[in-house]
Structure 1
Amino acid sequence: MNIKLISPTQWKDYELIDSGHFEKLERFGPYLIARPEPQALWNKSLSEAEWTKRADAYFRKDKRNEEKGEWQCKPLMPQQWFVTYQYQEMHLRMRLGLTSFKHVGLFPEQAENWNFIYSQIKSMPVGAKVLNLFAYTGGATLAARSAGAEVTHVDSVKPVVSWSRENMEASGLNDVRWIVDDALKFVRREVKRGKKYNGILLDPPAYGRGPDGEKWILEENLNELLSLCKQLLTPEQSFLVLNLYSMGLSALLARTTVQQLIGEGKGEQFGELYFTDSFGKSLPLGVYYRFWR
């Protein structure tokens, strides 16, 4: 058993500049943004004055609602802009934007999973089918589609699915199957339909709501979801990727859960995703488990 720490190395449009005091200072393309990061427990290397001076946009929490806030921007900071990512023959172009929930439409640490997805599909026969659940703005969807897979993209938030479609078009891709639905309800129906997929991508939040108010709680619903995914995944020529962001959840937990509910593959990788800032401090950004067979 070998827990593997991985950090994307192909990014030219992303850089973690500094981290600490529960915040991170990042570069997305030409712009520097500062925003909360609950896992940055240590002290900042740069001064507060330097952060304020360098950041083009700084997210300030709403004291009445810890989940929301507002961006304080310098005059030339746009509300939307694009970044690119390349791996082998995969060329992605994604639109970013400043949201009231501190997110910008991209989790750059996931690039390592995009590379894995792309390589897995390239090793399969033409026509591989991939299901991306909790798919957000579609980085993993674009990686799978770039490799030639038939992709079903599922997210419960309609504007986010529209955002994903913009990213697809900006990347010069097409023919993704877009689904606005609660992930668990959709998977239940796919099992009843007898559907099969060569790849399943799971990026569930700790807590969420479906389009009709369906409640998702990770600890309560993950086991059922994985049990259903077992029925959807082809027994051969298949792979699975699971990401977990909730603090306190480990890669070993992800591995044990998947193996118990879905089974083992021919190969596996699990561990933490991270970035190291320019001062050498490594910031953990979630755990992953992935297997192939």
Structure 2
Amino acid sequence: MSTSTNIQLLTPQHWKDYELIDCGDFEKLERFGDLILIRPEPQAVWPKTLGDAEWNKLYHIKFKGRSSTSGEWLKKNPKTADRWHIEYKNNDVAIKFRLGLTSFKHVGIFPEQAVNWDYISESIKSMKTPNPKFLNLFAYTGGASMIARAAGADTTHVDSIKQVVTWANENQELSGLSNVRWMVEDALKFVKRELKRGNKYNGIILDPPAYGHGPKGEKWKLEDNILEMMQDVVQLLDPKEHFLILNTYSLGFSSVIVENLIKTSFPQVENLEIGELYLQATAGPKLPLGVFGKFRKLAK
């Protein structure tokens, strides 16, 4: 049994439609397809590498707001579209995303998650279980759901916000996929009901926010609820063949905490990997964007 405590640093590779160009001074300069955006980034406490003049020359759209989460988008060219499409490919599958400018600085994708997408498609493709069942909790616009479905999994997508589930459905259609099971629901309540039903999954990813609310006002706070969630979620894993990814983005939440959560919730864990996700800027800096723990057991 392997329960390695080596901490890995992982970043997406070979993504033609995404590039972190530079980051610093609490901002990041990113290319999504043909559009280059400036967005706030609280982790980028170091100075920019390229400098303001280069940034101002390169960008097409900039987020300006009173805080890093609320504001407005400023376009150099007013005719620049509010919505556009990009593609993600790995060795197993290809999917497409509809991106858009939201009032909360987000565009509908978290690029660092491509590392987890690769693990999902690789795991599903390696399974002997026919039509493996996959569960995406706190699923947002469905990158992991699309990857799992494209890899051949029977996929369930759970998020508490109806608008982002609708957005995920658009991504499904763009990707030429169908039959994802959409659930607008509180993730913890959904897991508890699945336990009562006796359902099992071959793959699970959960990417919980630091704070959140369910559709009926249920409160989520990472430090208060993550242990209960993990203790329930691991009971949903098919004992013969499974994988799980726990991903968190919360300042001060370390990969060692994730390791302890997984080991105490699932003592029989095999092939445990923990570490940090980051984006490698073309200009040089590494931008940390969350910690993860993941493990899998494949049939021999």
Aligning the two structures, in what range does the TM-score lie when normalised by the shorter sequence? over 0.9
Which residue matches 1:172? 176
Structure 1: segments with no counterpart, 5+ residues: none
The number of equivalent residue pairs is: 291
User: Which residue number in structure 2 is paired with residue 240 of structure 1?
Assistant: 244
Aligned equivalents of 1:150, 1:114: Cα separation in 2: 16
- Report if the CA contact (8 A) 1:264-1:291 is conserved: no
Structure 2: how far apart are the matches of 1:74 and 1:80? 16
Indicate which of 40, 65, 73 corresponds to 2:75: 73
TM-score normalised by length of structure 2: 0.94
Residues 260-293 of structure 1: CA deviation (Å, up to 9, x unaligned): 0123432122111111212211111111110012
Q: Deviations over 1:6-26 (max 9, x none)?
A: 111120000011100111000
Specify the alignment match of 1:137 in structure 2. 141
8 Å CA contact retained: 1:52, 1:58: no
Q: TM-score, normalised by structure 1?
A: 0.97
Measured against aligned partners, the alpha-carbon deviations of 1:15-46 in whole angstroms (never above 9, x if no partner) come to 01110011100000000000011111100122
Q: Which residue in the other structure is 2:208 paired with?
A: 204
Superposed CA deviations along residues 192-251 of structure 1, whole A, max 9, x for unmatched, are 111111111100000001111111000001011111112211112001001110011111
Name the residue aligned to 2:17. Answer: 13
Note if 1:221 corresponds to 2:228.
Answer: no
Q: Secondary structure at the match of 1:15?
A: strand
Task: Give the one of 88, 92, 97 matched to 1:89.
Answer: 92
Matched, 1:152 2:156: yes
Residue type matched to 1:71 in 2? Answer: W
Structure 1 residue 66: Cα displacement: 5.2
Match for residue 265 of structure 2 among 261, 265, 268: 261
Select 2:278's aligned residue among 274, 281, 286. Answer: 274
> Are positions 1:287 and 2:291 aligned together?
yes
Among 108, 132, 135, the residue aligned to 1:105: 108
Quote the Cα distance in structure 1 between the aligned partners of 2:251 and 2:16: 28
Task: List per-residue Cα deviations over 1:104-132 (Å, max 9, x = no partner).
Answer: 10011111110100011111121210110
SS in 1 for 2:216: coil
Alpha carbons 2:68, 2:105 under 8 Å: kept: no
Query: Equivalent residue of 2:45, what SS?
Result: coil
Aligned position for 1:122 = 125
* Amino acid across the alignment from 1:114: W
Residue 117 of structure 1: SS of its match in structure 2?
A: helix
CA RMSD of aligned residues (A): 1.1
What SS does the aligned partner of 2:289 have? strand
How far apart in 2 are the matches of 1:285 and 1:93? 22
Question: Is 2:137 the counterpart of 1:162?
Answer: no
| 1:131–1:201 CA contact under 8 A, matched in 2 | yes
The one-letter amino acid of 1:128's match is P
Aligned residues of 1:273 and 1:286 also touching (Cα < 8 A): yes
List structure 1 segments (4+ residues) > 3 angstroms apart after TM superposition. Answer: none
Quote the Cα distance in structure 1 between the aligned partners of 2:121 and 2:194: 24
Structure 2: distance between partners of 1:72 and 1:78: 12
| Structure 1 residue 184 corresponds to structure 2 residue 188 | yes
- Residue 72 of structure 2 aligns to a residue whose secondary structure is strand
Moved more, 263-272 or 105-114: 263-272
Any conservation in 2 of the 1:243–1:287 contact (CA below 8 Å)? yes
Higher relative contact order (CA 8 A, sep 6+): 2
Amino acid at match of 2:155: V
CA contact (8 A) 1:204 1:243 kept: yes
Q: Which moved more, 1:31-40 or 1:266-275?
A: 266-275
**Does the CA contact (< 8 Å) of 1:182 and 1:210 recur in 2?**
yes
Residue 55 (structure 1) aligned with residue 59 (structure 2): yes
Cα distance, 1:66–1:171 mapped onto 2, change above 3 Å: closer
**In 2, Cα distance between equivalents of 1:277 and 1:121:** 30
